[in-house]
Amino acid sequence: MSVLSRQAHGGRLTIEHVLPQSLKDNYWTDRFSAEEHQKWLHKLGNITLLCGKKNSKAQYYDFPKKKAIYLKRNEKVSFDLTKEICGEADWKSTEIEKRQKRLVEVAEKLWKIE
């Protein structure tokens, strides 16, 4: 589940795939074909940071349940990257693509990529 882990603020820092690595829920199979799943799964627009045990709790659930898990601990989200995801009503390729473009633009400016 997590590619990155380290101690942060007393808990584990993990990378979460919003669109999960396996499409076990109808929510995801109704929105993503196998080809779309492969295209968007590991894109920057589909990943976020979570602290603690939220990543393992989020698993393969539908997007509304994942958002509830992201927000649950102390009714807050620690990372701005995750907060913006919680503001989305749905999670489809259009949301991932929009977020992907924005994050790439931010990275290019921040790291002065030409």
Q: What are the pLDDT digits (tens) for 27-43?
A: 999 999 999 999 999 99
93 found inside a domain = yes
Domain of residue 91: give its range.
7-110
> What is the rounded CA–CA span in Å between residue 99 and residue 109?
15
Overall domain count for the chain: 1
87 found inside a domain = yes
100 found inside a domain = yes
> What is the rounded CA–CA span in Å between residue 9 and residue 69?
18
Strand partners, 11: 8
55 found inside a domain = yes
Mean pLDDT of 9-30: 86
1 found inside a domain = no
pLDDT level of residue 11 (50, 70, 90 thresholds)? low
Burial tier of 114 (Cβ tally within 10 Å: 0-12, 13-18, 19+):
exposed
Quick one: what percent of the chain has pLDDT higher than 90?
Answer: 46
95 found inside a domain = yes
52 found inside a domain = yes
2 found inside a domain = no
